[in-house]
Structure 1
Amino acid sequence: MSFELKEFLGRFRKDSFKNLLKSEQSVLGVDIGSSSIKIVQLRKEKERAILETYGEVFTGPYGGMEIGQPVKLNAGKTAEAIKDVLKEAGAKATVARVAIPLNSSFVKVIQLPVSAEGDLENVITIEARRHVPVPISEVSLDWWVMPKTEKEKEENNKTIEVMLVAIHNDVINTYKDIIAKSGLTAAAYEMEPFGMIRSAIGRGSSTIAVIDFGASSTKMAILDYGIMRESRFISKGSHDLTRALSQSTGVDLARAEELKRRVGLSDLPEHKEIMEVMQPILSYIFHEANASLKNFQSKYKRSVSKIVFTGGGALLKGIASFGVKEFTIEVDLADPFSKTEHPVFLSNVLREIGLSFSVALGLALGEL
């Protein structure tokens, strides 16, 4: 199974995209984050994903803020930043898959009687009114019937699980406006967890959690043999660590960021004060993530076997070891660019920066 829901948000997919690909061999993944915009351009060649270029632009200066600071830009400024990073990276592709932030989406797994499968569209529309916290007329719906294991079929053949997704029409329209102003054509809009999942893990993996440490938030998804069973948005990210260090030490944000990256999660006595500043924020993030792990275990009667960290915040020194202590299970760092073919001399660089590009890369992979 692919990581998409019926070509996820397929209702927003351009019908003519297959024709576009005849002349447009390269595709873009566009990840519009809270503090930067990242793009990855890939080309498919004999079932291989060829990395052509990538780039990142910090959005703070476009909104009168410092580099690295989260900022909310209007459509025009966002499009300006996208144009700049495309130019800087030398990207020539014009067809893109674009990420929709998890916090702009409503995602819930609901249970329905098996009899509902015969009239699922009408049943989903009715059920959505019970679950979606805004009027149904204001959102676009998508859903996917989640497959069961043989054991699950034996234990319960009376109900089905359906992943229900709702995205506010205003959000979709805003992203359409941004992409149009950028001079790009959106092949599809996809919720960001699907991009991070696609780039972070391989096919056929068992029960794995992926945690994406962003600047202003942390996103989590739990996959069970390739099926996303649970997602979670945590309203703390790596910039919260930087801001806390800045306030505690009295240095500016740039110096605090440098301090965070240099020291990381050190257990040396001379770094005790720095750890004491970051500890409450990290504890909150890991506490929320642990709640999802426990909820999954309670619901499905099995445990996550491994956690994969990704996102720019996962570049923090020692975070994998810290994760092992917090979760008491195996923790790995993702290597997104390992899914592409690229010049050997770039391998070390791409391994170092790849965590930041996980969503953008996963989006581009989804279009190949």
Structure 2
Amino acid sequence: MISIARKMAQTGLDIGNSSVKFVQLSGKRENPILKNFELIKLKEGNTDEYREVLANIAKKLTSKDVNISISGPQLVVRYVDLPKMNEEELKSSMKFQAGEHIPFDIKDVIIDCQKVEDIEHGKMKVLLVAVKKETIDKLVKLVEGTGIFPGIIDCDSFALTNAFLLNFPDAVEGTNVALLGLGEKYTVVNIMKGKTPSFTRELQIGGRDFAQAISEKLDVNIKAASLLKEEPGERLQQILEITKPIIVHMVEEVKLSLTYYENQIGSSVDKIYLSGGLSGFKGLEEIFKKSLETDCGFWDPFKRIKIDKGVSEEKLNSVKNQLHVAVGLALRY
């Protein structure tokens, strides 16, 4: 999306709301090798802790150049139909037309655009991305001084797409799939028509809402509530009952997205793929499957990535459901 790279990076750094993850690859893009990874859970989530974690990560990287991503309401992704034009004309046109499609003052954002495909009536579908300048500045400032150098600044939804297409290229042929990234604060909905991204939306719902509901209902602190969310054990039914209103709301919002896509494209989503920390919430996969009446399952972000002999596969398997974005970022070379 936005490149400030010194050189091409093969490391993806996912700076989340409750953890920081990195994935370092080597080799050719079509046959990558996992050289290193880590997931570090945050205790406080303040700036000082982020800087300390990033500085420690920098010490473990053979190359300090990394690709990072952003998410949240300060980021806008739109698919717009425009008359056919070349790349130079498109860039020039967007300086004047972008304001019609984004809810921010055009002076306050960084804009990028890319042709997606030609469509009928002499038009083309264009991907428009806008992010507030202050968001980019804040992210770069956070990383500066830790020994890490930002390369490409992408967004979570595109990183998910990159990782999925590398690992499951055949799964999208002639079909519509939805990638749901269930994070701590946001849920990414990314729908592809074949290999072409066609719809992107971020929901303001995530694992933090689940933990907050558990905390309030059981009168425990957030840390204890998060542990119950991740490992409910014999209290699974109780936890499901407590979080039911949030799950219902999440399902309704996802359903709205799928319905909107179907109305716009004229065909429905055939399968939903789950990823992210919240995807491990017990029973959620089955709830999505039944409520949305759509096949639903998980996907392995390392299916077609060779694991280096120095990497612990046991450790990798315990956290891989949270590394999809980092993998997609690491593949931007």
* 1:101 matched to 2:71: yes
Per-residue deviation, residues 268-298 of structure 1 (Å, max 9, x unmatched): xx75433221111011111111111000100
**Counterpart selection for 1:195 from 153, 159, 170:** 159
**Counterpart selection for 2:7 from 17, 42, 45:** 17
Aligned to 1:207: 176
Query: Greater shift after overlay, 238-247 or 198-207?
Result: 198-207
Q: Do the aligned partners of residues 168 and 310 (structure 1) sit closer, same or farther apart at CA in structure 2, a change above 3 Å counting?
A: same
Query: Greater shift after overlay, 197-206 or 52-61?
Result: 197-206
1:260-299 map, 5 Å = 260-263=229-232, 271-299=236-264
Could you tell me how far apart the structure 1 residues matched to 2:276 and 2:288 are? 14
Q: Do the aligned partners of residues 256 and 137 (structure 1) sit closer, same or farther apart at CA in structure 2, a change above 3 Å counting?
A: closer
Aligned to 1:80: 52
Equivalent AA in structure 1 for residue 149 of structure 2: T
Number of residue-to-residue matches in the alignment: 327
Following superposition, the deviation at residue 82 of structure 1 comes to 0.9
Following superposition, the deviation at residue 77 of structure 1 comes to 4.6
- Contact kept, 8 Å, 1:112 with 1:161, in 2: the verdict is yes
1:23-172 map, 5 Å = 27-44=10-27, 47-61=30-44, 63=46, 73=47, 77-87=49-59, 90-114=60-84, 119-148=89-118, 153=119, 156-172=120-136
What is the TM-score with the length of structure 1 in the denominator?
A: 0.81
Identity %: 23
Following superposition, the deviation at residue 199 of structure 1 comes to 2.1
Aligned to 1:21: none
Following superposition, the deviation at residue 17 of structure 1 comes to 1.5
- Contact kept, 8 Å, 1:140 with 1:168, in 2: the verdict is yes
1:245-256 map, 5 Å = 245-256=214-225
Q: Do the aligned partners of residues 145 and 285 (structure 1) sit closer, same or farther apart at CA in structure 2, a change above 3 Å counting?
A: same
Could you tell me how far apart the structure 2 residues matched to 1:47 and 1:145 are? 23
Root-mean-square deviation over aligned CA pairs: 2.4
- Contact kept, 8 Å, 1:102 with 1:192, in 2: the verdict is no
- Structure 1 segments, 4+ long, off by >6 Å, are 115-118
Q: Of the two structures, which has the highest relative contact order with CA contacts closer than 8 Å and spacing of 6 or more?
A: 2
Query: Greater shift after overlay, 90-99 or 78-87?
Result: 78-87
Q: What runs of 5+ residues in structure 1 fail to find an aligned partner?
A: 1-7, 19-25, 64-72
Following superposition, the deviation at residue 45 of structure 1 comes to 5.3
What is the TM-score with the length of structure 2 in the denominator?
A: 0.89
Q: Which has the higher helix share?
A: 1
* 1:359 matched to 2:328: no
- Contact kept, 8 Å, 2:117 with 2:126, in 1: the verdict is no
Equivalent AA in structure 2 for residue 124 of structure 1: M
Per-residue deviation, residues 20-45 of structure 1 (Å, max 9, x unmatched): xxxxxx73111111111111111115
1:224-235 map, 5 Å = 224-235=193-204
Equivalent AA in structure 2 for residue 166 of structure 1: A
- Contact kept, 8 Å, 2:91 with 2:113, in 1: the verdict is no
**Counterpart selection for 2:316 from 350, 359, 362:** 350
Equivalent AA in structure 2 for residue 78 of structure 1: Y
Per-residue deviation, residues 124-183 of structure 1 (Å, max 9, x unmatched): 2211122222222221111112214xxxx5xx3233221111111111222222232222
- Contact kept, 8 Å, 1:116 with 1:123, in 2: the verdict is no
Q: Do the aligned partners of residues 62 and 328 (structure 1) sit closer, same or farther apart at CA in structure 2, a change above 3 Å counting?
A: closer
Per-residue deviation, residues 64-86 of structure 1 (Å, max 9, x unmatched): xxxxxxxxx3xx55332211244
Aligned to 1:70: none
